[in-house]
Amino acid sequence: MKRIDFENDTVTRNIVNAAFPLLIAQIMSLLYNVVDRIYIARIPSIGTYALGAIGLCFPLIVIINAFANLFGSGGAPLFSISRGEKNSTKANLVMNTSFTMLVLCSIVLMIVLYPLLKPILTLFGTSSSAMKYAYPYMMIYLIGTLPSMLTLGMNPFINAQGYSTAGMCSVLIGAIMNLVLDPIFIFLFRLGIQGAAIATLISQCVSAIFVYCFLKNRSELKVRLLKKEEWIDCKRYAQNIVSLGSSSFIMQLTNSLVSICCNNVLSITGGDIYISVMTIISSVRQLVETPIHAINDGSSPVLSYNYGARRAERIRKAIKVISILVFGYTAIVWSFIILIPHILIQVFSSDSVLIRNTVPALKQYFAAFIFMDLQYIGQNVFKSLNKKKQAIFFSILRKVIIVVPLTYIMPLYLHMGTDGVFLAEPVSNVIGGTLCFVTMLVTIMPELKRMENKNVIECQLTIEEEIVELEK
């Protein structure tokens, strides 16, 4: 299978070759989620209630995915840095540590969540009528905790070794299988919402088998569980993985927190119609952000590898290429959002009243979309270069410290109504995004300069040593 050459290929080619397969995979994953909901919504007589029940399960699924990202997003940059340092032994131990923690965590989560499932779903707002759909769905879904976490958490290690096409295939296999199995189990076998869960479970298992078999048999560095005698030695790796992965973990959890807060305030200031408006806006955001995530995820191993190899100029080049690609794409998409928002909205709804209310809200929400790019670029650089404190801080800053308070202050205390909810996001983008990007520039760029100077000094010393040897 074709592999990306992080060592010799140009930085631009590395990023594009890594990002494009990821983009295809993420689009398929997005379609799979959308189509999955469409199938469930069309279950005879119960579709609407079943779809609502799945929505109530979503926070729990996000938590499971957050734990998978904790080990994947935390381990993959450290893995790439070690490969850049030409330390394959360390890289392998990092991957195996991530894999072992992921397996253990998935088993613990499944054991803990099973007896507590009903109380948790009740806590998330599940009524007794919705429970009869949500509970059996999650009971089946939880069986697939290990395979779902394995696919999500270990796929970054495939991409980090340059096998971006294989990483794409692992997602495509699961997505296509789910699309095929959903109607079979839901309608043909008449299993309803349980059928949807079974289809998801089988798809996750097949994807996980592909990921594991590839990392076990076909990749350059092979995955395995840690041996008992390695556990003490790998304690430091485990701590670093969790520390670095905490930024992605926190980001996912805070996204759910912000969503809960927005819905709470909108229900007070605008009623149910505006909760639907926010649902559409969130769907549009998920759609337009997919290429940005692909660029960032594709560039992460490029940044990490060159950081480990101490190739400062290639890191600068990578940051420049990432910025051009992200800003260029955002400028085009932002133009569509501002000029023809109704076209994007109509993808998700044909209701004229809903469209009329969503158009101004969408424009407000995306008013400072370009500043969000600053957050994503800065955050990606911090995570990829193993800057744990900065990555965690800026994950918390924009969402928890800025967005959540503004979501309450602007509508309720400044009397801005629903406008205040939608404007909280662009205000946070300007403040949080600017601070994140500027901090990245003033901390990372001097470090890269010092790295270059150190390389020059070491090169001079090597030359002098060679001259001395020749003189002898």
Tens of pLDDT, residues 237-256: 999 999 888 888 887 787 77
- Residue 409 and residue 362 share a domain: yes
The predicted pLDDT at position 201 comes to 94
- Residue 470 and residue 364 share a domain: yes
Q: Which of 258, 246, 250, 210 is nearest to 403 (CA)?
A: 258
CA dihedral 27, 29, 34, 36 (to 10 degrees): 150
Q: Which of 453, 472, 281 is nearest to 364 (CA)?
A: 281
Residues 290-314: what's their mean pLDDT?
91
Domain count, the chain: 2
* Enclosing domain of residue 457: 239-472
The predicted pLDDT at position 228 comes to 86
Q: Of all helices (H) and strands (E), which one includes residue 151?
A: helix 145-160
For residue 56, pLDDT beyond 90: no
Give me the helix-helix angle, 145-160 and 164-183, nearest 10°. Answer: 150
Per-residue pLDDT of 206-240, as tens digits, reads 999 999 999 999 999 999 999 988 888 889 999 99
Give the least confident one: 112-121, 250-259, 283-292, 318-327: 250-259
- Residue 202 and residue 111 share a domain: yes
- Residue 158 and residue 281 share a domain: no
Residues 397-422: what's their mean pLDDT?
90
The predicted pLDDT at position 252 comes to 79
- Residue 283 and residue 142 share a domain: no
Query: Where does residue 152 rank: exposed (0-12), middle (13-18), buried (19+ CB within 10 A)?
Result: buried
- Residue 229 and residue 306 share a domain: no
Phi, psi (rounded to 5 degrees) for 441: -65, -45
- Residue 150 and residue 296 share a domain: no
- Residue 181 and residue 215 share a domain: yes
Measured CA distances, 451 to 126, 129, 260, 326 (Å):
54, 61, 44, 27
Residues 343-357: what's their mean pLDDT?
78
Q: Which of 410, 414, 432 is nearest to 422 (CA)?
A: 410
Sign of CA dihedral 236, 240, 245, 247: positive
Residues 424-439: what's their mean pLDDT?
94
Per-residue pLDDT of 180-205, as tens digits, reads 999 999 999 989 889 999 999 999 99
pTM: 0.83
For residue 55, pLDDT beyond 70: no
For residue 57, pLDDT beyond 70: yes
Domain boundary among 233, 264, 279: 233
CA distance 258 to 264: 10
For residue 83, pLDDT beyond 90: yes
Q: What one-letter code names the amino acid at 338?
A: I
The predicted pLDDT at position 456 comes to 77
Residue 226 DSSP class:
P
Domain boundary among 233, 268, 289: 233
- Residue 438 and residue 357 share a domain: yes
Q: What one-letter code names the amino acid at 246?
A: S
The predicted pLDDT at position 87 comes to 94
pLDDT category at 259 given cuts 50, 70, 90 is: confident
Local structure of 24: helix, strand or coil? helix
CA distance 273 to 276: 5
Residues 365-374: what's their mean pLDDT?
91
- Residue 382 and residue 283 share a domain: yes
Residues 51-64: what's their mean pLDDT?
76
- Residue 450 and residue 399 share a domain: yes
Task: Say how far residue 220 (Cα) sits from the centre of its chain.
Answer: 25
Average pLDDT, the chain: 88
- Residue 256 and residue 218 share a domain: no
Whether the Cβ atoms of residue 385 and residue 312 lie closer than 8 Å to each other? no
Residue 43 DSSP class:
S
Domain boundary among 204, 233, 262: 233
Local structure of 385: helix, strand or coil? coil
pLDDT category at 290 given cuts 50, 70, 90 is: confident
Whether the Cβ atoms of residue 120 and residue 60 lie closer than 8 Å to each other? yes
Phi, psi (rounded to 5 degrees) for 69: -70, -30
Whether the Cβ atoms of residue 430 and residue 374 lie closer than 8 Å to each other? no
